[in-house]
Structure 1
Amino acid sequence: MTKGVKLLIGAVLLIFAAAVVLAVIGLKPSESTWVEIVQNNKVIYKLDLSEEKDRTFRIDYPEGGWNEVQIKDGHICIADA
């Protein structure tokens, strides 16, 4: 094996190792429990899911329509729209 081939293999292995480390770091779940609900570029709710009780509430839109937001067991979702 020539010196150039060895350098190429080393560079490929280094890039692969860096990609694996970044993937592991990037795929970790977030420890943050804060969410913001934004309507027309304005924050209308800022909630800490670790402190919120299970509940459902409705957000009405001035143009018509609505979203029903459900908080349960520290998770949030749009339950109905």
Structure 2
Amino acid sequence: MIALKHKPTRADFRALLRLAGPLVLIHVGTMLMGVVDTVMVGRVSPAALASVALGNMYFFAISIFGMGVLFALDPIVAQAL
């Protein structure tokens, strides 16, 4: 196990939250888009609701794949710089 040279302080946690806050809001907003789509189409017809569900499924699958590719490229680009 790696020993820490210093214990994390409140300032460290505040800095982490300041960096992570916008990312959390983006992900929550993306999930809420699917919820709003489902609520808006839910009263139209079962076929429309099914199509929105499929669209959300494909959108999230492609988004997660893209995020994985970008997360994998982060260390490669950082080392190249």
> TM-score normalised to the size of structure 1?
0.37
Q: Which has the higher helix share?
A: 2
Looking at secondary structure, tell me which structure has more strand per residue: 1
Larger radius of gyration: 1
